[in-house]
């Protein structure tokens, strides 16, 4: 294809397909009978072909018109990943409305903010839990009209004047087919490349969530180029389990799925996820680092409990995999003997392990959202799983950089994706420009102007640099989190936190030290890993708090902190970030308490304010601190926990030699 043709295509849309509903139509024509969605329900994988999907979506779209949805309306979609909710998104687009997927675990207040901000008139939700939340905040939402739910359970007695069951809406749509079909066709025909495809609210590490408006151009261009980048194809399988409100899920389960026509599989429930993963065996898999960490932790725990022979085999072959596995995966030269040993390992350990994890068929796996611990990353890659990193954000429709096959490393995030331009500002902040760049923040021109300049360059808010030897981008930390210590040395908390979090015992860590003499850390233990260890060592505990404060747990954590100090000291740029003192927190940092975002990123500033007394104690040299913390329970009630926490000093590694060299 010549350059001129490409230009034409950019203007008219990829092959004249200007919207998701148009892609749906194409898929029905081209491969209508192949599976589009699967969901496990009643113990069986139910599936829908593209033809069936299109019928379901159309019935719903007609039903929505019947309910009075007009073009430009906002429709909130709230619930776990289910085919019905994906159809709702497409049906909303079809009638000219804007779908707004929301986090299903958001509390009523957060929900009220988002729905009030976009002025949603309709909501399509999963079940009674979500219905209750919407009803709770309904009074604050004067524009709100109709609520549609999927699962009728427990809702029979509710007032149904503005409440509708999903299937009824579809039935009414089918019944009114002749009346509304022309209207629907007209609305669908009006969708063009610049009409809004979806609005996604950012999780908001700082302040209120912002509504990111993404156009059909953003979604389809990105889906197209990224599918080509990784050679995604129709026969691929993905498991849709990440929050529907997250841009990643939208691009994988709608953008790329509709572009390439692969099948989206929805798990039965959150608890059955691992079993469902194994049954489906996805070929294209995406997970934030935390999921890989959790899986690695559970593998390690189970190996601790395994018999001697199995344990020794596991250790022996994993050692070998660490040595040659990544080279084999990348196609680098590896000796015949090592290859033979690796294939034996594959037979005895790697194969069965991958099968257990549901990764036997993974052709392309991605992790993003946060930096992944290098050890976790190489664990999966050495098993022969093609796990890669990508760097992106909602405002870019995910893709900024990604790692091409064969050029994968733990400490970089890859080269620019097709169509993306990258620029590093003098401050170190990373800027990008691409067809995926968002249209605007909804109703927020100031923030839009702050983030995106007139030439279309977008500030990522991350500090990084392009490695000269490889041309890969390396991200150091959030630009606003990178600071200077009192001594003038660079302070990059995430770098140290990630090293800490590699230990299965440590779930979360927050390092402080900006503008200070030295660094201190908060640590959350991982209840699964530490609980299992306690069980094996006959340590009795009654609560999370008690376990977290146990002296032997503190000893273990201290060992980890000191090992991290050792490794931090080796990096000449960041050796000042060694941890002098630390405390193991008495509660898990939680999104319900505002300490984390719904995508589980730590809100540093809030944590700093909330636990100011503990930070004070870490710096003033005291060995204990009594504190009272407010907590929010899942049902929204508030309570408080009080605790006396031990503060420990960690041994440091001298870096005099390097200091002298500077």
Partner 1 sequence: MKDMDEGYITEDGRKIGGVVMEMKNITLRFGGVVAIKDISFDIREGEVRAIIGPNGAGKSSMLNVISGFYVPQEGEVWFHGAARPKMRPYEVAQQGIARTFQNIALFEGMSVLDNVMTGRLTQMKAGLFSQAIWKGKAEAEETANREIAEKIIDFLEIQAIRKTPVGRLPYGLKKRVELARALAAEPKLLLLDEPMAGMNVEEKEDMSRFILDVNDEFGTTIALIEHDMGVVMDLSDRVVVMDYGKKIGDGTPDEVRNNQDVIDAYLGVAHD
**Binding footprint of partner 1 on the chain (CB under 8 A):** 41-44, 153-154, 156-157, 268-269, 271-272, 275
- The number of angstroms, rounded, from the C-alpha of 406 to the middle of its chain's C-alpha atoms is 24
Pairing of strands 284-287, 364-367: parallel
Q: How many CA atoms lie within 13 A of 321 on its CB side?
A: 26
User: Taking the complex as a whole, how short is the minimal distance between the CB of residue 127 and partner 1, in angstroms?
Assistant: 11
Q: For residue 660, what are its two tokens? A: 């002298």
Residues 6+ apart with CB under 8 A from 590: 596, 631, 632
Tell me the residue ranges of DSSP E strands in 368-408: 387-393, 398-402
CB of 151 or CB of 462, closer to partner 1 = 151
Question: How far apart are the C-alpha atoms of 147 and 125, rounded to whole Å?
Answer: 7
User: Taking the complex as a whole, how short is the minimal distance between the CB of residue 521 and partner 1, in angstroms?
Assistant: 33
User: Taking the complex as a whole, how short is the minimal distance between the CB of residue 598 and partner 1, in angstroms?
Assistant: 23
Nearest to 79 by CA among 212, 190, 240: 240
Instruction: Name the residue with tokens 């294939």.
Output: 343
Question: In a 3-state reduction of DSSP, which class is residue 506?
Answer: strand
User: Taking the complex as a whole, how short is the minimal distance between the CB of residue 154 and partner 1, in angstroms?
Assistant: 6
The full DSSP string for 485-535 is -TTS-EE-HHHHHHHHHTSTTEEEEEEE-TTSSSEEEEEEE-HHHHHHHHH
Q: Are 81 and 253 in contact (CB under 8 A)?
A: yes
CB of 43 or CB of 335, closer to partner 1 = 43
CB of 46 or CB of 206, closer to partner 1 = 46
CB of 41 or CB of 517, closer to partner 1 = 41
As to burial, measured by CB atoms within 10 angstroms (0-12 exposed, 13-18 middle, 19+ buried), residue 36 is buried
User: Taking the complex as a whole, how short is the minimal distance between the CB of residue 589 and partner 1, in angstroms?
Assistant: 22
The full DSSP string for 407-454 is ---TT---EEPTT-EEEE-TTSEEEEE-TT--SEETT-HHHHHHHB-T
DSSP lists the bridge partners of residue 430 as 424
CB of 136 or CB of 268, closer to partner 1 = 268
CB of 142 or CB of 156, closer to partner 1 = 156
Nearest to 395 by CA among 466, 468, 444, 344: 444
CB of 260 or CB of 532, closer to partner 1 = 532
CB of 426 or CB of 635, closer to partner 1 = 635
User: Taking the complex as a whole, how short is the minimal distance between the CB of residue 485 and partner 1, in angstroms?
Assistant: 45
User: Taking the complex as a whole, how short is the minimal distance between the CB of residue 143 and partner 1, in angstroms?
Assistant: 30
CB of 142 or CB of 153, closer to partner 1 = 153
CB of 41 or CB of 421, closer to partner 1 = 41
User: Taking the complex as a whole, how short is the minimal distance between the CB of residue 471 and partner 1, in angstroms?
Assistant: 45
Question: How far apart are the C-alpha atoms of 66 and 64, rounded to whole Å?
Answer: 5
User: Taking the complex as a whole, how short is the minimal distance between the CB of residue 43 and partner 1, in angstroms?
Assistant: 4
Pairing of strands 579-584, 624-632: unpaired
CB of 158 or CB of 431, closer to partner 1 = 158
| Helix, strand, coil percentages, rounded to 5, for the chain | 45, 20, 35
Question: How far apart are the C-alpha atoms of 56 and 469, rounded to whole Å?
Answer: 52
User: Taking the complex as a whole, how short is the minimal distance between the CB of residue 302 and partner 1, in angstroms?
Assistant: 15
Q: For residue 648, what are its two tokens? A: 């420990």
* 409: phi then psi, degrees, rounded to nearest 5: -135, 155
As to burial, measured by CB atoms within 10 angstroms (0-12 exposed, 13-18 middle, 19+ buried), residue 148 is buried
User: Taking the complex as a whole, how short is the minimal distance between the CB of residue 41 and partner 1, in angstroms?
Assistant: 7
Instruction: Name the residue with tokens 């675990």.
Output: 105
Return the C-alpha torsion angle 453, 454, 456, 460, nearest 10.
Answer: 0
Backbone dihedral region for residue 13 (phi beyond 0: left; psi -120 to 50: alpha; all else: beta): left
Q: Are 568 and 555 in contact (CB under 8 A)?
A: no
Count other C-beta atoms under 10 Å from residue 596's C-beta. 20
CB of 42 or CB of 337, closer to partner 1 = 42
User: Taking the complex as a whole, how short is the minimal distance between the CB of residue 542 and partner 1, in angstroms?
Assistant: 13
CB of 156 or CB of 638, closer to partner 1 = 156
User: Taking the complex as a whole, how short is the minimal distance between the CB of residue 278 and partner 1, in angstroms?
Assistant: 12
């Amino acid at each position: 294809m010549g350059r001129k043709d490409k230009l034409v295509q950019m203007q008219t849309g990829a092959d004249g397909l200007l919207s998701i509903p148009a892609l749906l139509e194409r898929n029905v024509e081209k491969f209508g009978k192949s599976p589009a969605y699967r969901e496990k329900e009643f113990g069986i994988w139910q599936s829908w072909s593209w033809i069936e999907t299109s019928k379901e979506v159309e019935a719903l779209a007609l039903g929505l018109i019947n309910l009075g949805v007009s073009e430009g309306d906002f429709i909130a979609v709230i619930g776990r990943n289910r085919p019905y909710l994906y159809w709702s998104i497409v049906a909303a687009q079809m009638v000219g409305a804007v779908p707004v997927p929301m986090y299903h675990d958001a509390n009523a207040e957060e929900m009220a903010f988002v729905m009030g901000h976009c002025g949603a008139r309709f909501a399509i939700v999963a079940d009674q839990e979500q219905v209750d939340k919407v009803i709770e905040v309904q009074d604050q939402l004067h524009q709100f009209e109709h609520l549609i739910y999927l699962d009728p359970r427990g809702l029979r007695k509710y007032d149904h004047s503005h409440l509708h069951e999903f299937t009824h809406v579809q039935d009414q749509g089918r019944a009114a087919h002749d009346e509304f079909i022309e209207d629907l066709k007209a609305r669908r025909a009006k969708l063009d490349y610049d009409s809004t495809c979806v609005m996604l609210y950012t999780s908001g590490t700082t302040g209120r969530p912002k509504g990111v408006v993404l156009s059909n151009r953003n979604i389809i261009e990105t889906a197209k180029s990224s599918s080509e980048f990784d050679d995604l194809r129709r026969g691929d399988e993905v498991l849709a389990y990440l929050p529907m409100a997250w841009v990643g899920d939208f691009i994988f389960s709608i953008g790329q799925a509709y572009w390439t026509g692969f099948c989206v599989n929805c798990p039965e429930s959150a608890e059955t996820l691992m079993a469902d993963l194994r049954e489906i065996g996805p070929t294209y898999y995406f997970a934030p680092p935390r999921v890989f960490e959790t899986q690695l932790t559970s593998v390690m725990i189970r190996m601790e409990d395994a018999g001697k022979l199995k344990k020794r085999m596991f250790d022996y072959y994993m050692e070998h995999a660490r040595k040659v596995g990544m080279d084999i995966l990348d196609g680098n030269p590896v000796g015949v003997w090592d290859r033979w040993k690796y294939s034996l390992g594959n037979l005895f350990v790697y194969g069965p392990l991958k099968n257990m994890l549901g990764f036997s068929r993974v052709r392309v796996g991605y992790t993003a959202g946060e930096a992944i611990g290098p050890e976790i990353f190489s664990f999966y890659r050495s098993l022969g799983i093609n796990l890669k990193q990508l760097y992106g954000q909602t405002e870019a429709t995910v893709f900024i950089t990604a790692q091409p096959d064969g050029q994968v490393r733990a400490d970089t995030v890859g080269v620019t994706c097709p169509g993306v331009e990258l620029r590093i500002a003098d401050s170190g902040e990373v800027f990008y420009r691409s067809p995926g760049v968002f249209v605007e923040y909804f109703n927020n021109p100031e923030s839009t102007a702050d983030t995106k300049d007139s030439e279309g360059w977008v500030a990522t808010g991350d500090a990084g640099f392009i490695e000269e030897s490889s041309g890969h981008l390396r991200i150091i930390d959030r630009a606003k989190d990178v600071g200077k210590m009192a001594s003038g040395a660079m302070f990059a908390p995430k770098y140290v936190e990630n090293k800490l979090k590699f230990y299965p015992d440590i779930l979360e860590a927050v390092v402080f030290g900006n503008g200070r003499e030295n660094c201190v850390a908060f640590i959350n233990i991982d209840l699964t890993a530490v609980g299992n260890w306690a069980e094996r060592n006959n340590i009795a505990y009654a609560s999370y708090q008690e376990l977290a404060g146990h002296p032997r747990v503190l000893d273990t954590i201290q060992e980890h902190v000191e090992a991290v100090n050792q490794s931090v000291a080796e990096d000449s740029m960041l050796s000042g970030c060694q941890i002098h003192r630390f405390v193991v927190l008495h509660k898990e940092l939680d999104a319900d308490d505002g300490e984390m975002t719904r995508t589980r990123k730590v809100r540093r500033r809030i944590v700093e304010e909330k636990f100011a007394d503990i930070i004070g104690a870490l710096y003033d040299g005291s060995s204990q601190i009594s504190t009272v913390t407010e907590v929010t329970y899942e049902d929204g009630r508030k309570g408080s926990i009080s605790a006396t926490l031990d503060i420990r000093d960690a041994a440091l590694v001298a870096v005099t030699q390097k200091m002298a060299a500077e």
